[in-house]
């Protein structure tokens, strides 16, 4: 293979890994909710969008520096998570999972419309104080925003892996997901762990909103990142933090390779559907994902 082609492939792979880690951070929000409630949060993309609007709005309206804006976004999303759990989702404890799923679909529409009403429809920028000049690493040029996003993703993915595997609270949240009725019978406060799960999902959404908002800008289209991440959690497994990482890396690399090698022949757009091809294949071959827990049901 010619040297230029090797360098081109290396650039695509490196950028794919960076984007994949950023996908994994948002996918962690899906995993958190699924582990605690056994339901899929279809409003995860809108959570990311709303968090980005909070950070951008704090910077635009109050002139807050980046770190203050990011902290305000985290605090705002934690409060939103607690509030939504208390008002909308707590009455659904013990109900069929489909009730929670439909509630999150409704929340997605409300958040998307509410964000436009509160912050406007224009695109807002989040200025991350890392500079715009790419980092030159020989044949590879890396965006500083992507590097920061990948680093933040790695740190929080490691923290949440430890949380679910080693901490008492994390183990209790997994027990709640297995069976709410049994968890309540064992003395676990299901309502408290529901609230904690949504607050933690709010933190992850705030981090994702700030990072992706700094890279793409913040408008109501930022919510589409949640749809791009959905193949990640299906591929890796809805209840696996490791699956979110591996699935994110695979999707990030595949869509970059598709864009680099297939777009010149088909006129573009392959990176938009390549992740969903992977998702369909995963659903046909292993519906629970690579690292998901296989469930055996007696009939």
Q: What pLDDT digit, counting tens, does each position of 61-89 carry?
A: 767 788 899 999 999 999 999 898 888 87
Start-end of H helices in the chain: 3-37, 44-62, 66-84, 97-119, 144-166, 168-178, 180-185, 190-216, 224-236, 241-261, 263-266, 270-285
Q: What is the mean pLDDT of the chain?
A: 85
Q: Is the pLDDT of residue 178 over 80?
A: no
Measuring CA to CA, how many Å separate 55 from each of 125, 128, 154, 205? 9, 11, 22, 12
Q: What is the mean pLDDT of residues 42-52?
A: 93
pLDDT value at residue 299? 46
pLDDT for 104-114, tens place per residue?
899 999 999 88
Q: What is the mean pLDDT of residues 87-97?
A: 79
- What are the structure tokens assigned to 169, written together? 């609270």
Percent of the chain having pLDDT more than 90? 27
pLDDT for 207-218, tens place per residue?
999 999 988 889
Place of tokens 């490691």: 158
Measured N-to-C along each axis, helices 168-178 and 3-37 cross at an angle, to the nearest 10 degrees, of 70
Q: Is the pLDDT of residue 125 over 60?
A: yes
Q: Is the pLDDT of residue 197 over 90?
A: no
pLDDT value at residue 241? 84
Structural domains in the chain, CATH included, are 3-121+144-285 (1.10.3470)
pLDDT value at residue 50? 93
pLDDT value at residue 295? 62
Confidence of residue 296 (pLDDT cuts 50, 70, 90): low
Q: Rounded CA gap, 242 and 228, in Å?
A: 18
Confidence of residue 206 (pLDDT cuts 50, 70, 90): very high
Backbone phi, then psi, for 285, in 5-degree steps?
-95, -40
Q: Is the pLDDT of residue 52 over 90?
A: yes
Q: Is the pLDDT of residue 2 over 60?
A: no
pLDDT value at residue 27? 92
Q: Rounded CA gap, 234 and 299, in Å?
A: 25
pLDDT value at residue 235? 92
Nearest residue to 127 (alpha-carbon basis) of 177, 56, 71, 191: 56
Q: Rounded CA gap, 162 and 135, in Å?
A: 31
Q: Is the pLDDT of residue 48 over 90?
A: yes
- What are the structure tokens assigned to 289, written together? 């994902």
pLDDT for 263-277, tens place per residue?
888 887 888 889 999
Which residues, other chains included, contact 226 with Cβ-Cβ below 8 Å and sequence gap of 6+? 26, 42, 43, 44, 45, 46, 47, 48
Confidence of residue 21 (pLDDT cuts 50, 70, 90): very high
**What are residue 135's DSSP bridge partners?**
142
Tell me the Cα Rg of the chain. 19
What count of other Cβ atoms lies within 10 Å of the Cβ of residue 7? Answer: 13
pLDDT value at residue 53? 93
Q: Rounded CA gap, 128 and 237, in Å?
A: 32
């Amino acid at each position: 293979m010619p040297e230029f082609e090797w360098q081109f492939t290396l650039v695509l792979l490196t950028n794919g890994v960076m984007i994949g880690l950023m996908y994994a951070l948002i996918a962690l929000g899906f995993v958190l909710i699924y582990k605690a409630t056994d339901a899929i949060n279809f409003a995860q993309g809108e959570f990311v969008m709303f968090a980005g609007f909070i950070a951008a709005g704090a910077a635009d309206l109050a002139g807050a520096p980046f770190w203050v804006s990011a902290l305000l976004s985290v605090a705002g999303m934690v409060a939103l998570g607690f509030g939504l759990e208390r008002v909308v989702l707590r009455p659904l404890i013990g109900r069929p999972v489909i009730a929670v799923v439909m509630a999150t679909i409704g929340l997605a529409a409300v958040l998307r419309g509410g964000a436009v009403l509160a912050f406007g429809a224009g695109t807002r920028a989040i200025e991350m104080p890392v500079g715009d000049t790419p980092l030159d690493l020989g044949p590879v040029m890396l965006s500083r925003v992507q590097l920061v996003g990948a680093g933040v993703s790695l740190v929080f993915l490691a923290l949440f892996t430890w949380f679910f595997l080693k901490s008492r609270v994390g183990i209790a949240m997994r027990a709640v997901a297995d069976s709410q009725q049994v968890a309540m019978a064992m003395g676990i406060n299901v309502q408290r762990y529901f609230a904690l799960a949504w607050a933690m999902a709010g933190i992850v959404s705030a981090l994702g909103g700030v990072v992706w908002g700094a890279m793409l800008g913040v408008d109501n289209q930022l919510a589409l990142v949640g749809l791009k991440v959905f193949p990640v959690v299906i591929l890796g497994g809805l209840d696996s933090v490791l699956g979110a990482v591996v699935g994110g890396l695979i999707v990030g690399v595949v869509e970059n390779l598709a864009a680099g090698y297939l777009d010149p022949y088909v006129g573009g757009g392959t990176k938009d559907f390549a992740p969903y091809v992977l998702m369909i294949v995963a659903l046909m071959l292993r519906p629970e994902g690579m690292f998901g827990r296989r469930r055996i049901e007696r009939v």
